[in-house]
């Protein structure tokens, strides 16, 4: 098992969970935010799209300029996320492992000796933000799906 | 040279350690029982999970199973106890990983409830998903913190409270 294969396996496992969580955001509440200083649910999904696209640009070692992707609606954002994710995942599958070991010009102003380390930051950040969305869903009165284990609304072990 | 998977896991733990500790040390003990919704975990329970995940990893590196029923539930009385628990757990996880090889991680590891197997996968898969599970719950914790006006540290990038990254 190589680092690249572990990375790909993780991404393959995460996509369906993330889409399930995004779809659980109550309809009509794309602008829900639990606190005046929080991002809205839609803004979080838009950030996650930018990260998935950013991971693809890092494959070439390009400096990442992080810009959240503007979308018309939450449904539109979820579709864009799914499509971008599949596209980035395929690009990672197609690249030789040694390319991932090459330097990344910049990510949020920092130099990374290895591209895969920059990519991992964005991959983990999507998990971080999905965790935030799961709390938003609970507070907005939605049902929180099972993520890595049971939630109060869904228990895959029962 | 590419990292071995074990080296990679140790580096990931090191990369996540600082921001995780910053969150935990800001959880005030007088809010431990607070929860944002009837169906949510309370703040202490969620914080304990975040502090405990590295200990799961130690079990995965060294043993062959975790049985939820036998898991020693940690109940901190203070923020200091919570942070000390985390420090010990992360130190233990790094030490136990440093003693295994990628080949060792190909063995199966079982999650059980009172002896009944709930889930089996390789140690490698279990450790990898535990790290992501950890990131997930820390993400939830940051929303709990924001709701109680506890400053959220910069994690993978700036937060509304901390621009420095």
Q: What was the ipTM of the complex prediction?
A: 0.96
Give pLDDT, residue A43.
95
Residues of B in contact with A66 (CB under 8 A): 157
Give pLDDT, residue B164.
63
pLDDT > 90? residue A108: no
Q: Do B138 and A131 touch (CB under 8 A)?
A: yes
Give pLDDT, residue B158.
87
Residues of chain B whose pLDDT is less than 70? 1, 164-165
3-state SS string for B50-62: HHHHHHHHHHHHH
- Write the pLDDT tens digit of every residue in A29-82: 899 999 999 999 999 999 999 999 999 999 988 887 777 888 889 999 999 999
**Contact (Cβ atoms closer than 8 angstroms) between residue A115 and residue B124:** no
Mean pLDDT of the residues in chain A = 93
How many Cβ contacts (< 8 angstroms) between chains A and B?
100
pTM: predicted TM-score of the whole model, two decimal places: 0.96
Interatomic CA distance for residues A95 and A74, integer angstroms: 31
Give pLDDT, residue A63.
82
Higher model confidence: residue B156 or residue A157? B156
DSSP secondary structure string for all residues of B62-95 = H-SEEEGGGS-----SSHHHHHHHHHHHHHHHHH
Q: List, in sequence order, every residue forming a beta bridge with B119; answer none if it has no partner.
A: B111
**Contact (Cβ atoms closer than 8 angstroms) between residue B59 and residue B71:** no
- Write the pLDDT tens digit of every residue in A49-63: 999 999 999 998 888
Nearest residue of chain A to residue B37 (CA atoms): A139
**Contact (Cβ atoms closer than 8 angstroms) between residue A52 and residue A83:** no
Alpha-carbon distance values, A154 to A26, A147, A148, A151, B67 (Å): 16, 9, 11, 5, 21
Give pLDDT, residue B1.
59
B112 touches A at CB < 8 Å = no
The pairing of strands B65-67 and B108-113 is parallel
Centre a 10 Å sphere on the Cβ of residue A141 and count the other Cβ atoms it contains. 10
Alpha helices, DSSP H, located in chain B: 5-24, 43-62, 79-98, 123-147
Give pLDDT, residue A1.
86
**Cα dihedral B122/B127/B133/B139 (nearest 10):** -160
pLDDT > 70? residue A145: yes
DSSP secondary structure string for all residues of A93-111 = HHS-GGGGGS-EEEETTEE
């Amino acid at each position: 098992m190589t680092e690249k294969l572990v990375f790909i396996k993780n991404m393959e496992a995460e996509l369906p969970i993330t889409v399930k969580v995004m779809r659980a955001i109550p309809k009509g509440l794309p602008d829900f935010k639990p606190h005046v200083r929080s991002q809205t649910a839609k803004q979080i999904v838009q950030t996650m799209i930018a990260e998935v696209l950013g991971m693809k640009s890092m494959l070439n070692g390009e400096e990442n300029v992080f810009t959240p992707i503007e979308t018309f609606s939450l449904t539109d954002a979820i579709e864009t996320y799914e499509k971008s994710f599949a596209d980035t995942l395929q690009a990672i599958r197609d690249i030789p492992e040694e390319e991932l070991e090459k330097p990344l010009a910049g990510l949020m102003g920092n130099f990374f000796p290895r591209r895969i380390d920059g990519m991992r930051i964005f991959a983990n950040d999507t998990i971080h933000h999905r965790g935030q969305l799961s709390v938003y869903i609970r507070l907005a009165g939605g049902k929180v799906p099972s993520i890595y284990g049971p939630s109060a609304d869904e228990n895959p072990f029962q | 040279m590419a990292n071995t998977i074990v080296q990679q896991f140790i580096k990931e733990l090191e990369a996540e350690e600082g921001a995780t500790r910053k969150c935990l040390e800001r959880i005030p003990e007088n809010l431990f029982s607070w929860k944002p919704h009837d169906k949510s975990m309370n703040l202490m329970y969620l914080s304990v999970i975040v502090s405990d995940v590295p200990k799961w990893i130690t079990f995965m590196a060294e043993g062959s199973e975790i049985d939820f029923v036998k898991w020693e539930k940690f109940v901190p009385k203070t923020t200091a106890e919570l942070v000390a628990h985390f420090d010990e757990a992360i130190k233990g996880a790094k030490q136990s990983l440093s003693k295994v090889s990628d080949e060792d991680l190909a063995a199966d590891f079982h999650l059980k409830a009172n002896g009944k197997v709930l889930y089996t996968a390789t140690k490698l898969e279990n450790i990898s998903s535990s790290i992501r599970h950890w990131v997930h719950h820390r993400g939830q914790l940051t929303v709990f913190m924001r709701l109680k006006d506890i400053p959220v540290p910069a994690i993978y990038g700036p937060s509304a409270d901390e621009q420095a990254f």
